[in-house]
A and B are shown apart, each in its own frame.
Chain A
């Protein structure tokens, strides 16, 4: 094989353009969003930011074992949807699911304790960071092998359809998921069955360590696939909670009206690497810097000030959240490692794990 032939189709990293963020669209401050919802989104972003920072610190102290995938920098997506969704809606996330679990209202202490592998964890220490679930809060799971949960979200939406409720299911996933088969099966299936489901691609520009545009046939990994399934192409600024809230509300209303699924691509950026093991050095420095300047939280802080929310209110929220994170950390640290009595429980509905008589 000639070198030329061998190189055909291979990635040319030198040709990859740096992906800089779009400017903030100031018109989003004009969107008809109640101020209470905006304050709720601010508070939620504060919780997500401070929780993930604390989770990172606890890794560094070697209190969190295994791996973890943080949503630092991507909080506006979870916050926008978190506030737009109804309490009885269903959420499905990937291994990068801390934010979505918190956004559904699951308690912070047990979530933190789960990261620490403690008995008082959300999953009794059996699932860990990548599988956060809180059925009582409609958080139907974090799925660590990408793709499947889009199909599973369809099932929850089908269930709502069968039971005649107005619940919707929302599946969050990354840009990398758009290249796995289950993504395509799920979208076609949701479309033909007109399921009340919203697919939310958090496009943070990197599948794991590889830029998504080097491994995807179209520039917008989710939005450019939408037409294949009879869906609108929707791209939103994933670093602007108002913009996310707006498209989320529209998609959820469409789902509840029986008009079927939506696919939303929210463009955003990780502040850190893919997972605990990854410092993210493969990203150009100017790109990282530009996106750090487009941090969703300071931007939103400024917007709320401009909209007349007093600084003292925002400062109070920050401080209150800091207290909640402190409490959650203490709760987690106070938990014991799970005892042996938990090892063989809950494989089956009868609470046990017996496979023979």
Chain B
């Protein structure tokens, strides 16, 4: 057992997999010598050497292209895109090439790639370095998408992502990097496509992702003080999506809310809301409500950014009002 931060868990997860598979390599900007701009890859260069942990120029298309070409010729790869906002620079390779190649070629091409990227707000970086863009990837057929909320899940889902033969986009939340947890010794391997009930409850279901999970838990704690029993589900994996856990929870609680850091339109919760409406309509005792960032570019000023992202206060107030 050792206490580990979320950022240290990233490096531990990668190291665990690089020890297991001597073919696994990684590349990205400032990941080797500098240990990553968010220090999520510290120690990997020392342990695995410059042949397996490689710094690149600021060339996101070249990074993902190299990852794809290596993967389709038998070398599993972890590629880092420093900020998830930068996925827009290389979205052609992610969305048009990596995601579609297996299907377009009638199943000829394999794509064992993990694209790691630092996602989300709270750092006061403004509209181009703070976005939550997991929904950009969720809507592309052929991409798997995970976003862990705690150090244990970081290691386990990293292992699952690396071992998966399909392209996985792995969102590491910038505002969770300092969070700590006790992790067991030895290998941790999790499973993609599994949500987790992180707080049991009977009056409503709150589905959250990444940074929104601790905020939903805080809101649930306050709701409990008011006699409202909220169940909180950490969605963890958007693709594949664990709809069975969500549906089972709604069957029990009759109410469904999402907490999404992405801007409103076509956020991941819209798909969940649609599924609940389609398949659990007769279990519902009230409308499905989505709690999201407003549909705006994220502002930089502390005060404005804090108003934008769903807070524990906003979750608490929204759920209280809905259940009043």
Contacts and interface: CB of A to CB of B under 8 A. Distances in A.
Nearest to B108: A135
A127 interface: yes
A126 B101 CA distance: 10
Contacts of A127: 104-106
Contacts of B240: 354-357
Contacts of A134: 108
B262 to A, nearest CB: 18
A124 B104 CA distance: 9
Contacts of B164: 349
Contact of B61 (A124, A141, A181, A355): A181
Bin the interface of chain A by size: 35 or more
B62 interface: yes
Interface string A146-166: 011111111111111011000
B240 to A, nearest CB: 6
Interface stretch (B80-88, B90-98, B316-324): B90-98
A154 B106 contact: no
Given A189-B56, A356-B240, A155 B67 contact: yes
Contacts of A136: 108
Contacts of B177: none
A13 interface: no
Interface string B46-62: 00000100101101011
A349 B102 contact: yes
A133 B239 contact: no
B57 A152 contact: no
Interface stretch (A35-43, A285-293, A340-348): A340-348
Nearest to A138: B73
A310 B104 CA distance: 44
B236 to A, nearest CB: 13
Contacts of A100: none
A159 B59 contact: no
B102 A347 contact: yes
Given A186-B62, A189-B59, A151 B105 contact: no
Given A151-B61, A185-B59, A186-B62, A133 B73 contact: no
Nearest to B93: A148
Given A156-B73, A356-B243, A123 B68 contact: no
Contacts of A149: 65, 97
A253 interface: no
B181 interface: no
B107 A345 contact: yes
A135 B69 CA distance: 12
B165 A159 contact: no
B21 to A, nearest CB: 13
B69 A346 contact: no
B104 A150 contact: no
Interface residues of B, number: 49
A152 B105 contact: no
Interface in B125-172: 141-142, 164-166
A355 B241 contact: yes
B293 to A, nearest CB: 24
Contact of A148 (B59, B92, B239, B275): B92
A162 B76 CA distance: 11
Contact of A152 (B68, B74, B102): B68
A150 B65 CA distance: 8
Given A186-B65, A357-B243, A348 B166 contact: yes
B112 to A, nearest CB: 8
B105 A349 contact: no
B242 interface: yes
B64 interface: yes
A141 B65 contact: no
A103 B300 CA distance: 54
A162 B24 CA distance: 10
Interface string A184-222: 011011001100000000000000000000000000000
A154 B240 CA distance: 30
Contacts of B62: 151, 154, 182, 185-186, 188-189
B71 interface: yes
B104 A123 contact: yes
Interface of A: 90, 121-127, 131, 133-136, 140-141, 143, 145, 147-160, 162-163, 169, 181-182, 185-186, 188-189, 192-193, 345-349, 351, 353-357
25 contacts: A90-B73, A121-B106, A124-B106, A131-B104, A133-B108, A135-B109, A136-B108, A151-B68, A152-B93, A155-B69, A155-B71, A155-B77, A157-B69, A158-B70, A159-B69, A162-B70, A181-B61, A185-B62, A189-B62, A192-B57, A346-B103, A349-B164, A349-B166, A355-B241, A357-B243
Given A135-B105, A141-B72, A357-B243, 7 more contacts: A123-B104, A131-B104, A136-B108, A148-B96, A155-B65, A188-B57, A347-B141
- The list of the 9 closest CB pairs from A to B, nearest first, reads A155-B69, A151-B65, A349-B165, A346-B107, A124-B106, A189-B62, A185-B59, A185-B62, A155-B66
